[in-house]
Amino acid sequence: MNEMPLNVRDRLYLYDRIPDRFRLSLMLYRDQRVETGGALRTILEGRSLVSCLKYADDELMDWMATIACWIYNEFPITCCGSAEKVERWLSER
């Protein structure tokens, strides 16, 4: 497991430290349009925190802010932000 700095703000841009199971899933989504799991999908769709928490385990909850920051800053705008965008992205494989 990746060692995590204590302060959430200190790790907002440490994308390479995101645990592999999340980072690799999101890279497959972005690069090859492969479906993610439910919790990551809620983040991609820009749903509320409460929606994400229904699906997230403790490790994802710890990294949720970093993952959201990575998606916002590094992913194409056409692949995230709403359920419709995510569906369209996946359907264009």
pLDDT of amino acid 81: 95
* Phi and psi, residue 7, nearest 5°: -90, 125
Q: How far apart are the first and last CA of the chain?
A: 32
Q: What is the pTM of this model?
A: 0.86
Q: Tell whether the model's pLDDT for residue 4 goes beyond 80.
A: no
Residues 33-72: tens digit of each pLDDT? 999 999 999 999 998 878 888 889 999 998 999 999 999 9
Please compute Rg for the chain using Cα positions. 13
pLDDT of amino acid 55: 85
Q: Are 63 and 22 in contact (CB under 8 A)?
A: yes
Q: Over the chain, what is the mean pLDDT? A: 90
- Identify which of 7, 26, 24 has the alpha carbon closest to the alpha carbon of residue 73: 26
